[in-house]
């Protein structure tokens, strides 16, 4: 140690105190004071400020301490540096420092009167936020409160039999099979299929309309008609195969010979509809899955009873954002998750030297396709000067992010077009050579 420095303990104490203060501001190091040999003796004490540190593992708050000023008369051997312990005395061991529950940083949830938080608003924060091994991240809030379908979304409708008791008598349909029997004349007995015109053909009576009638109504009608030939016809109608519309629908969506189950895959068309068997076109764009299920169930109930569907979103429509201008690899990038402006620049390989990060432009299409735009300043954030940038916006589908050139690059292009390619290209001056190609390096 320098002799002059050693001969001035008060100056040494002040110097170490200043160094400790700088380290506290830049790296999150705390300052702890340890009195000489005897910890119980009265030694100069640091002035500390109690800071409330939220503990994510409990409903209470841990009280930490951060040095805000100290006694400048401290001797050299009374000052020790340590990594932000919750209390200022005594200084913890290296093993305790490694497991210290306090890190210093900025939290966007902290209150601020106006503007945004800066690095001078640093405070102790729970170290668990930056714990290792948490690459999957916490279970954050859902991306959207409710997802509404859009064009090119892919859905799979799973069909199932409800097997619920009907509140009204079943009415025979085309394709249903019935058995007509008579206790009086067994020659009348026969099995019949309801024809496409809704009729059946019976002995003596010929064609009789049977579709849209209940079994009781058909029995009473046949018994009444046969009374012209028999005093007591004693007709009985027994349904053998019913609900043929339902079976036809099940056969249409039957995938048991392939991927299994009874389902139908559809895609939302550009007009916002889907096509399903038996009910044709159904509006889907802008609906949630629950709303779409209710709409489809109601439409099927008007056609056939006993069927229920469950829509499943199998693939979302691709979402893209476009990054242009002064970036390494401009182009179109797929949005696979929530993405911010700085993340979009990272997708494009970062920014080029000469990009105007103070005036990044975002173009966006609203719900009615009108164009809106805004300018943001992310230079301070990308250079580590703004910890909680208010310009770090969330992007959405079809957004265009443009990183414009700085004025010096505009001037470079102007000089290149007017002079290098223009005047010198038309009338070159012999013996004169001017190169403006590296003007952007100034």
43: left (phi over 0), alpha (psi -120 to 50) or beta: beta
Band (pLDDT 50/70/90 cuts) for residue 352 is very high
Mean pLDDT within 260-267: 87
**pLDDT for the residue 95:** 52
Mean pLDDT within 243-257: 84
Give the C-alpha separation, 57 to 111, whole Å. Answer: 22
Q: How far is CA 81 from the centre of its chain?
A: 44
Residue 258 has pLDDT above 80, yes or no: no
For 316, phi then psi, to 5°, come to -80, 155
**pLDDT for the residue 305:** 86
**pLDDT for the residue 55:** 41
Q: Across 72-76, 128-132, 322-326, which has the greatest mean pLDDT?
A: 322-326
Q: How many CB atoms lie within 10 A of CB 386?
A: 20
The burial class, CB within 10 Å (0-12 / 13-18 / 19+), for 442 is exposed
Question: Model confidence over 51-90: pLDDT tens digits?
Answer: 333 344 444 333 333 333 334 444 344 433 434 444 444 5
Helix (H, G, I), strand (E, B) or coil at 95: helix
Question: What residues pair up with 199 in beta bridges, in sequence order?
Answer: 209
Q: Across 110-114, 129-133, 255-259, which has the greatest mean pLDDT?
A: 110-114
The burial class, CB within 10 Å (0-12 / 13-18 / 19+), for 341 is buried
Question: Model confidence over 182-199: pLDDT tens digits?
Answer: 999 999 999 999 999 999
**pLDDT for the residue 330:** 97
**pLDDT for the residue 430:** 55
Q: Across 74-78, 131-135, 139-143, 352-356, which has the greatest mean pLDDT?
A: 352-356
**pLDDT for the residue 67:** 37
Lowest mean pLDDT among 129-133, 230-234, 353-357, 400-404: 129-133
DSSP string, 379-442: HHHHTTS-SS-TT-PBP-TT-EEEEPBPHHHHHHHHHIIIIIIIIHHHSPPTT-----TTGGG-
The two three-digit tokens of residue 154, written as one number: 């892919």
Mean pLDDT of the chain: 78
Asked if 80 and 29 count as a contact pair (C-beta separation under 8 A), the reply is no
Q: What is the dihedral sign for C-alpha 56, 58, 60, 62?
A: negative
Band (pLDDT 50/70/90 cuts) for residue 260 is low
Q: How far is CA 240 from the centre of its chain?
A: 52
Residue 22 has pLDDT above 90, yes or no: no
Question: Model confidence over 151-179: pLDDT tens digits?
Answer: 999 999 999 988 888 888 999 999 999 99
Mean pLDDT within 21-36: 42
From residue 219, how far is each of 122, 140, 197, 235 by CA, in Å?
Answer: 88, 64, 19, 6
The model carries a pTM of: 0.63
Question: Model confidence over 290-305: pLDDT tens digits?
Answer: 999 999 999 999 988 8
């Amino acid at each position: 140690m320098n002799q002059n420095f050693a001969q001035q303990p008060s100056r040494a104490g002040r110097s170490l105190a200043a160094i400790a203060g700088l380290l506290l501001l830049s790296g999150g190091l705390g300052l702890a004071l340890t009195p000489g040999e005897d910890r119980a003796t009265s030694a100069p004490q640091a002035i500390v400020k109690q800071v409330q540190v939220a503990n994510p593992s409990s409903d209470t708050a841990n009280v930490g301490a951060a040095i805000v000023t100290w006694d400048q008369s401290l001797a050299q051997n009374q000052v020790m540096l340590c990594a932000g312990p919750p209390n200022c005395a005594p200084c913890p061991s290296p093993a305790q420092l490694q497991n210290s529950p306090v890190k210093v940083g900025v939290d966007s949830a902290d209150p601020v009167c106006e503007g945004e938080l800066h690095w001078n608003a640093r405070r102790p924060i729970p170290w668990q936020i930056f714990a290792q091994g948490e690459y999957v991240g916490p279970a954050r809030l859902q991306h959207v409160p409710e997802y509404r379908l859009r064009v090119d979304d892919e859905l799979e409708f799973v069909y199932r039999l409800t097997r619920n008791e009907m509140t009204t008598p079943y009415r025979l349909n085309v394709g249903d099979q019935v058995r007509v029997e008579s206790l009086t004349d067994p020659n009348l007995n026969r099995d019949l299929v309801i024809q496409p015109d809704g009729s059946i053909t019976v002995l003596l009576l010929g064609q009789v309309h049977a579709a849209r009638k209940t079994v009781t109504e058909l029995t009473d009608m046949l018994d009444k008609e046969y009374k012209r030939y028999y005093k007591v016809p004693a007709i009985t109608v027994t349904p053998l195969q019913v609900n043929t519309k339902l079976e036809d629908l099940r056969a249409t969506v039957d995938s048991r010979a392939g991927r299994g189950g009874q389902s139908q895959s559809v895609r939302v068309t550009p007009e916002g509809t889907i096509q399903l068997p038996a009910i044709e076109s159904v509006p889907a764009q802008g609906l949630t899955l629950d709303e779409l299920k209710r709409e489809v169930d109601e439409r099927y109930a008007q056609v056939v009873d006993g069927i229920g569907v469950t829509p499943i979103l199998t693939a979302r429509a691709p979402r893209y954002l476009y990054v242009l201008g002064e970036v390494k690899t401009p182009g179109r990038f797929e949005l696979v998750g929530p993405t911010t402006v700085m993340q979009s620049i990272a997708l494009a390989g970062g920014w080029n030297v000469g990009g105007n990060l103070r005036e990044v432009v975002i173009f966006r299409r609203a719900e009615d396709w009108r164009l809106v735009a805004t300018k943001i300043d992310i230079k301070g954030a990308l250079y580590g000067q703004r910890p909680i940038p208010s310009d770090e916006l969330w992007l959405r589908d079809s957004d265009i992010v443009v990183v414009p050139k700085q004025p010096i690059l505009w001037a470079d292009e102007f000089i290149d077009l007017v002079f290098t390619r223009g005047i010198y290209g038309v009338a070159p001056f012999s013996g004169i050579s001017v190169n403006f190609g590296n003007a952007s390096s100034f």
